[in-house]
């Protein structure tokens, strides 16, 4: 069964049809790229899948479970991890604590344990730290655990966002323009990281990206969006030669 | 009792309430302009139980705290799901309603002339123990899972939800903890001054607490405690400033907001580790280089 | 007949609340925060109106003008002192709360310093109440209602029809885009504060006429807040409708259960309203941007 199945979702804001009939089926280990010009509704697709906006129509199934109308935090706990286009880390928390926040909903102690020095609390905190350090190590930030994210470079902050999303133990990982603002070296490292995560953790990845070379290199399937509609989807090779895609990206050829 | 014990006791009682406000405002980024009304609930409930029903204190004080928390739950219920403005607006209305209620129910509360005859139980020492206890609880809370989630919610609600954080629940927990602590501060207060009246618990009191938290540093409990000492101690020591109190606070905070928005201490906390660092730095300064 | 009397008194009271709630909503719309200094600004302007005009034996109109002008100027100064840098630095919106609360204590502190805890009364501007077919309508109610209605209609026209109004609406909708479109955002915000301050001054004088002038008069701003919440936070028409409803409910409550308990019940009504219909009457939907 597909890990993520999105069936014919629609979403409009007032008169603007941000998504019209978007569908996707992503399996374990697959990387799906979503590309398209600005304003094509790519981020809105992520926002609907992760529950920020309710879909007007259509269904979202996560590992067979209908999550279309679920609350955002419950969707995350079902196994949906995501990053944001404009990095949204928690100010006032260290790198480690940023990832701990994604573990905390699974931490097994309650309000009494939060106020009192109970043994259960320290055991759970230790368990959480170990898990989080594991993910920080995976993205190469283990030596920055006590830093403040505000003091880190853009590339490291992007990685921290990925580590935080990983701490949600996602079945589906949504990456919203992870390479935006990175230099070529960092993009190379990021590409490797995404491929390694996909290999080692075996979840499904959905990737919104402007840098075509990155998407083309690592995605098995590419969906091209324009004005809220899917104008093509298929392997990188198929998409590259699709006349509709060329038109959307380059405009009609005059000669 | 000397004047200084009196001032110190009052400051310590304020520390308790401000520590409660710190959880809500400093950590979670929510503003309650009716927080003093919860202090009133604590003060009046315990006071009435003791004076009118001669209940023992060890029952009356918890009763005051529990009632405040129960009322806080009802006030918080419609607001925690909405944007933060609502909790400020609703608590402000709540404060006015409580003041009206206290003024009106004369038979029970003494109305505008206040509730008198409360036994004087709180001493400098019990105030000190209470303050230390509350500070300990809250610093434990700040480093716990809910404490982290509070800070996450303050920083970015949407991202917090995306990480599986139940935002309304976290907001409610922060609100109720702060209500409980403030109500306890009310018990301490009523059993120290032996007298309470509704005018003590207006929105300006709540605003003062918010100002103290921000003056000290948004994310620093140490800062909040420190600024409570400075801001409530200063006008007590310098009597001639008493009338200018509100204006001095306001000017100080406006300066801070414009020029040092993180507050006096920002995020710095007095932890054993930070303390060791300071001491180490101090030693380095003291030892001239030629010694080694 | 009794009900009609409540409605008439309620609308008169509600029109003052409408001045408060629109003044508050205007700033809320533009900067997306609740301006808690609004109440203290009402007190400050009402007292200035008293000392500058009414105490010198001038009539209602000079008093109103003095109070409104004070409100505008002080609001403008407040914007510069307390909000400008937060806006420029784009720091967390929670600083707006702190700033406005601080500004509120500052205004109220100054008033207390000047007048102490004393009560002042505006001179009697109005004659005897009119009796009309069994209804009693005070002249002050009529005049307050007429002035409020006139001001609100003019405000609506300004916001809908003029260039400044259009700029204000676009800044409320999306500050960044408005700025990209060449709209002077700072000027629009200043404009909003000027209007909001004038409304605060006007409301302050009317409240002073209805009750007395005292340093914590501004806490009546809570009526305007409740009206905005009932009407739908951020909606100007909602703020007016909410204010009228609140006025009618309140006069009814005061006549039936007494003025002491009325705030308790209006608060409970707001709480229930929020549970049942959090978006308010106008159904405004203010969401944090995703």
Residue C92 with chain A: CB contacts under 8 Å: 91
Burial class (CB in 10 A: 0-12, 13-18, 19+), A215: buried
The answer to whether position A124 is within a domain reads yes
B254 with C263: Cβ contact below 8 A: no
pLDDT tens digits, one per residue of C43-73: 999 999 989 888 887 888 889 999 999 999 9
Query: pLDDT: is C88 or A49 the higher one?
Result: A49
**Where does residue A181 fall: left (phi above 0), alpha (psi -120 to 50 degrees), or beta otherwise?**
left
pLDDT tens digits, one per residue of A22-80: 999 999 999 999 998 888 889 999 999 999 999 999 999 999 999 999 999 999 999 99
C271 with B245: Cβ contact below 8 A: no
Handedness of CA A139, A144, A146, A150 (dihedral sign): negative
Put simply, the chain C residues between 58 and 77 with a CB less than 8 A from any chain B CB are none
**Domain residue extents for chain C:** 16-221
Residue A128 with chain B: CB contacts under 8 Å: 145
Residue A71 with chain B: CB contacts under 8 Å: 161
B145 with A73: Cβ contact below 8 A: no
Lowest mean pLDDT of A245-249, B2-6, C42-46, name the range: A245-249
Element (H, E) at C135: strand C135-137
Residue A121 with chain B: CB contacts under 8 Å: 144
Measured between CB atoms, which of B146, B148, B165 is closest to A111? Answer: B146
Q: Is the pLDDT of residue C199 over 70?
A: yes
Residue B141 with chain A: CB contacts under 8 Å: 114-115
Which is it for strands A204-208 and A31-35: parallel, antiparallel or unpaired? parallel
Q: Looking at the complex, does the CB of residue C113 fall below 8 Å from at least one CB of chain A?
A: no
Mutation pick from C263, C280, C284 vs chain B, by most beta carbons of B within 10 Å, is C263
What contacts C259, CB < 8 A, 6 or more positions away? none
Q: Looking at the complex, does the CB of residue A16 fall below 8 Å from at least one CB of chain C?
A: no
In SS3 terms, A167-182 reads as HCCCCEEEEECCCCCC
**Which subunits have 3 or more CB–CB pairs within 8 Å of chain A?**
B, C
pLDDT band, residue A103 (cuts 50/70/90): very high
Q: Which ranges in C116-184 belong to alpha helices (H)?
A: 139-161, 163-173, 175-180
The answer to whether position A255 is within a domain reads no
B160 with A111: Cβ contact below 8 A: no
Question: For the domain that residue B183 is a member of, what is the CATH number?
Answer: 1.10.3470
Alpha-carbon distance of C175 to A251, in angstroms, equals: 32
Q: Is the pLDDT of residue C183 over 90?
A: no
**Where does residue A169 fall: left (phi above 0), alpha (psi -120 to 50 degrees), or beta otherwise?**
left
Q: Which residue has the tokens 């697709």?
A: A45
The shortest C-alpha distance from A238 to chain C (Å) reads 33
Burial class (CB in 10 A: 0-12, 13-18, 19+), C104: buried
Q: Which ranges in A7-153 belong to alpha helices (H)?
A: 42-49, 72-79, 95-103, 111-115, 119-138
Alpha-carbon distance of C130 to C127, in angstroms, equals: 9
Residue A67 with chain B: CB contacts under 8 Å: none
Measured between CB atoms, which of C95, C109, C264 is closest to B100? Answer: C264
Considering only alpha carbons, which residue of chain B is nearest residue C103? B250
Cα angle, residue A73 at apex, residues A71 and A75 outer, rounded to 5°: 70
Considering only alpha carbons, which residue of chain A is nearest residue C290? A52
Alpha-carbon distance of B43 to B37, in angstroms, equals: 10
pLDDT tens digits, one per residue of A169-197: 999 999 999 998 888 899 999 999 999 99
pLDDT at B292 (0 to 100):
40
A92 with B147: Cβ contact below 8 A: no
Alpha-carbon distance of A64 to A5, in angstroms, equals: 8
B155 with A76: Cβ contact below 8 A: no
**Contact of B141 with B23, CB cutoff 8 Å:** yes
Q: Looking at the complex, does the CB of residue C290 fall below 8 Å from at least one CB of chain A?
A: yes
Here the ipTM equals: 0.93
What contacts B284, CB < 8 A, 6 or more positions away? none
**Contact of C193 with C81, CB cutoff 8 Å:** no
pLDDT band, residue A255 (cuts 50/70/90): very low
**Contact of A194 with A7, CB cutoff 8 Å:** no
How distant, in Å, are the alpha carbons of A117, A120, A181, B73, B165 from that of A125? 12, 9, 34, 28, 17
Q: Looking at the complex, does the CB of residue B155 fall below 8 Å from at least one CB of chain A?
A: yes
A73 with B164: Cβ contact below 8 A: yes
CB atoms under 10 Å from CB of A100, counted, come to 24
List the A65-66 sheet strands across, edge first: A65-66, A57-62, A4-13, A16-26, A229-234, A221-226, A31-35, A204-208, A172-176, A80-82
Residue B235 with chain C: CB contacts under 8 Å: none
User: What DSSP line would sit under chain B, residue for residue?
Assistant: --HHHHHHHHHHHHHHHHHHHIIIIIIT----TTHHHHHHHHHHHHHHHHHHH---HHHHHHHHHHHHHHHHHHHHTTTTTS-HHHHHHHHHHHHHHHHHHHHH-HHHH-GGG-B--------HHHHHHHHHHHHHHHHHHHTSHHHHHHHHHHH-HHHHHHTT--HHHHHHHHHHHHHHHHHHHHHHHHHHHS-B-GGGGSHHHHHHHHHHHHHH-TT-HHHHHHHHHHHHHHHHHSGGGGGGHHHHHHHHHHHHHHH-TT-SSTT----HHHHHHHHHHHHHHHS-GGG-
Q: Which residue has the tokens 């083309």?
A: A216
pLDDT tens digits, one per residue of C249-259: 988 888 888 88
Q: What is the dihedral of CA B70, B75, B81, B86, to 10 degrees?
A: -150
Of chain C, the end-to-end C-alpha distance in Å amounts to 52
pLDDT band, residue B281 (cuts 50/70/90): confident
Q: Any idea how long chain A is?
A: 255
**Contact of B155 with A93, CB cutoff 8 Å:** yes
Measured between CB atoms, which of C36, C109, C263 is closest to B250? Answer: C109
Of A14-23, B21-30, C55-64, highest mean pLDDT: B21-30
B254 with C103: Cβ contact below 8 A: yes
Considering only alpha carbons, which residue of chain A is nearest residue B217? A92
Measured between CB atoms, which of B33, B154, B211 is closest to C102? Answer: B211
Q: Considering its fold, how many domains does chain A have in total?
A: 1
Considering only alpha carbons, which residue of chain B is nearest residue A71? B161
Task: Domain of residue A146: give its range.
Answer: 4-250
Put simply, the chain C residues between 108 and 137 with a CB less than 8 A from any chain B CB are 108-110, 112-113
pLDDT at B286 (0 to 100):
59
Put simply, the chain A residues between 134 and 163 with a CB less than 8 A from any chain B CB are none
Q: Is the pLDDT of residue C210 over 50?
A: yes
**Contact of A99 with A160, CB cutoff 8 Å:** yes
Element (H, E) at A247: helix A243-250
How distant, in Å, are the alpha carbons of A99, B21, B74, B224 from that of B26? 21, 7, 22, 9
Mutation pick from B153, B164, B220 vs chain A, by most beta carbons of A within 10 Å, is B164
Q: Looking at the complex, does the CB of residue C86 fall below 8 Å from at least one CB of chain B?
A: yes
> What does the pLDDT average to over A66-95?
93
Considering only alpha carbons, which residue of chain C is nearest residue B27? C94
pLDDT band, residue A250 (cuts 50/70/90): low
Element (H, E) at C49: helix C38-52
Residue B214 with chain C: CB contacts under 8 Å: 98
Q: Is the pLDDT of residue B119 over 90?
A: yes
**Which subunits have 3 or more CB–CB pairs within 8 Å of chain C?**
A, B
Q: Considering its fold, how many domains does chain B have in total?
A: 1
The shortest C-alpha distance from A239 to chain C (Å) reads 30
How distant, in Å, are the alpha carbons of A4, A39, A50, A166 from that of A170? 11, 27, 12, 6
Q: Looking at the complex, does the CB of residue B178 fall below 8 Å from at least one CB of chain A?
A: no
**Contact of B59 with B178, CB cutoff 8 Å:** no
Helix (H, G, I), strand (E, B) or coil at A11: strand
B85 with C99: Cβ contact below 8 A: no
Please choose, from the candidates B168, B76, B70, the residue with its C-alpha nearest in 3D space to the C-alpha of residue C274. B76
Mean pLDDT rounded to a whole number for chain A: 90
Q: What is the pTM of this model?
A: 0.92
Task: Domain of residue B259: give its range.
Answer: 3-291
Q: Looking at the complex, does the CB of residue A52 fall below 8 Å from at least one CB of chain C?
A: yes
**Contact of B45 with B64, CB cutoff 8 Å:** yes
Please choose, from the candidates C3, A219, C102, C219, the residue with its C-alpha nearest in 3D space to the C-alpha of residue B207. C102
Question: For the domain that residue A208 is a member of, what is the CATH number?
Answer: 3.40.50.300
Tokens standing for C183? 């709209």
pLDDT tens digits, one per residue of B156-194: 999 999 999 999 999 999 999 999 999 999 999 999 999
Q: Which residue has the tokens 């990925």?
A: A162
| Residue C215 half-sphere exposure toward CB, CA atoms < 13 A | 17
Of chain B, the end-to-end C-alpha distance in Å amounts to 52
Q: Looking at the complex, does the CB of residue A121 fall below 8 Å from at least one CB of chain B?
A: yes
Q: Looking at the complex, does the CB of residue A48 fall below 8 Å from at least one CB of chain B?
A: no
Alpha-carbon distance of C17 to C207, in angstroms, equals: 9
The answer to whether position A196 is within a domain reads yes
**Contact of C23 with C203, CB cutoff 8 Å:** yes
Residue B29 with chain C: CB contacts under 8 Å: 92, 94
Q: Is the pLDDT of residue A127 over 90?
A: yes
Interface contacts (B, C; CB < 8 Å): 146
How distant, in Å, are the alpha carbons of A31, A80, A156, A216 from that of A24? 12, 15, 30, 18
């Amino acid at each position: 069964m597909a890990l993520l199945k999105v069936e014919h979702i629609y979403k409009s804001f007032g008169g603007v049809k941000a998504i019209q009939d978007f569908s996707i089926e992503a399996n374990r280990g697959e990387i799906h790229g979503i590309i398209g010009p600005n304003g094509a509704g790519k981020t809105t697709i992520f926002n609907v899948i992760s529950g920020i906006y309710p879909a007007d129509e259509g269904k979202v199934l996560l590992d067979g479970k209908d999550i279309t109308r679920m609350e955002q935090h419950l969707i995350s706990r079902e196994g949906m991890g995501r990053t944001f286009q404009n990095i949204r880390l928690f100010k006032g928390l260290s790198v480690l604590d940023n990832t701990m926040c994604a573990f905390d909903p699974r931490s097994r102690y309650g309000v009494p344990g939060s106020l009192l020095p109970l043994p259960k609390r320290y055991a759970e905190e230790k368990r959480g730290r170990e898990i989080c350090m594991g993910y920080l190590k995976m993205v190469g930030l283990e030596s920055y655990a006590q830093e403040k994210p505000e003091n880190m470079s853009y590339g490291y902050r992007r990685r921290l966002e990925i580590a935080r999303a990983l701490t949600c133990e996602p079945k589906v990982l949504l990456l919203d323009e992870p390479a935006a603002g990175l230099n070529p070296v960092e993009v190379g490292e990021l590409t490797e990281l995404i491929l390694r995560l996909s290999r080692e953790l075996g979840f499904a990845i959905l990737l919104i990206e402007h840098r075509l070379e990155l998407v083309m290199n690592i995605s098995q399937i590419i969906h091209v969006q324009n004005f809220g509609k899917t104008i093509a989807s298929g392997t990188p090779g198929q998409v590259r030669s699709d006349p509709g895609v060329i038109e959307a990206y380059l405009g009609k050829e005059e000669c | 009792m000397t004047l200084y014990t009196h001032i110190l006791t009052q400051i310590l009682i304020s520390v308790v309430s401000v520590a409660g406000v710190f959880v809500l405002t400093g950590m979670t980024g929510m503003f309650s302009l009716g927080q003093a009304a919860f202090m009133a609930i604590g003060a009046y409930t315990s006071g009435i139980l003791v004076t009118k029903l001669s209940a023992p204190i060890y029952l009356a004080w918890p009763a005051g705290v529990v009632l405040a928390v129960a009322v806080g739950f009802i006030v918080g219920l419609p607001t925690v799901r909405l944007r933060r403005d609502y909790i400020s607006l609703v608590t402000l209305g709540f404060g006015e309603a409580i003041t009206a209620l206290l003024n009106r129910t004369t038979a029970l509360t003494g109305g505008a002339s206040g509730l008198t005859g409360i036994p004087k139980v709180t001493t400098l020492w019990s105030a000190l123990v209470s303050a230390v206890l509350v500070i300990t609880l809250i610093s434990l809370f700040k480093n716990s899972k809910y404490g982290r989630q509070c800070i996450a919610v303050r920083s970015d609600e949407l991202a917090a939800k995306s990480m599986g954080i139940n935002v309304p629940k976290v907001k409610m927990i922060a609100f109720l903890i702060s209500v409980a602590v403030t109500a306890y501060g009310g018990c301490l207060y009523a059993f120290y001054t032996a007298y309470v009246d509704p005018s003590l618990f207006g929105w300006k009191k709540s605003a003062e607490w918010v100002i103290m938290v921000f003056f000290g540093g948004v994310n620093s409990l140490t800062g909040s405690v420190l600024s409570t000492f400075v801001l409530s101690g200063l006008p007590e020591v310098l009597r001639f400033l008493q009338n200018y109190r509100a204006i001095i606070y306001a000017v100080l905070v406006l300066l801070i907001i414009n020029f040092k928005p993180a507050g006096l201490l920002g995020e710095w906390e007095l932890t054993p580790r930070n303390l060791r660092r300071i001491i180490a730095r101090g030693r380095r300064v003291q030892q001239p280089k030629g010694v080694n | 007949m009794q009900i009609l009397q409540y409605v008439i008194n309620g609308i008169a009271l509600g029109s003052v609340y409408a001045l408060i709630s629109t003044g508050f909503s205007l700033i809320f719309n533009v900067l997306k925060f609740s301006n808690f200094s609004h109440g203290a600004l009402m007190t400050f302007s009402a007292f200035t109106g008293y000392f500058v005009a009414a105490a010198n034996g001038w009539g209602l109109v000079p008093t109103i003008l003095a109070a409104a002008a004070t409100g505008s100027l002080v609001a403008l100064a407040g914007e510069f002192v307390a909000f400008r840098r937060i806006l420029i630095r784009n720091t967390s919106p929670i600083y707006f709360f702190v700033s406005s609360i601080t500004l509120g204590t500052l205004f109220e502190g100054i008033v207390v310093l000047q007048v102490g805890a004393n009560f002042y009364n505006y001179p009697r501007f109005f004659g005897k109440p009119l009796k009309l077919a069994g209804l009693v309508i005070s002249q002050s109610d009529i005049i307050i209602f007429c002035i409020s209605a006139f001001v609100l209609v003019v405000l609506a026209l300004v916001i809908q029809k003029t260039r400044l109004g259009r700029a204000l609406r676009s800044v409320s909708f999306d500050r960044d885009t408005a700025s990209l479109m060449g709209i002077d955002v700072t000027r629009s915000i200043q404009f909003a504060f000027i209007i909001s301050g004038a409304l605060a001054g006007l409301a302050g004088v009317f409240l002073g006429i209805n009750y007395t002038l005292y340093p914590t008069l501004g806490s009546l701003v809570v009526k305007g807040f409740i009206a905005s919440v009932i009407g739908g936070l951020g909606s100007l028409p909602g703020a007016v409708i909410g204010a009228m409803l609140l006025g009618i409910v309140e006069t009814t409550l005061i006549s039936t259960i007494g003025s002491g308990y009325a705030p308790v019940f209006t608060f409970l009504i707001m709480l229930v309203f929020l549970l049942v219909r959090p978006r308010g009457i106008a159904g405004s939907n203010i969401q944090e941007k995703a």
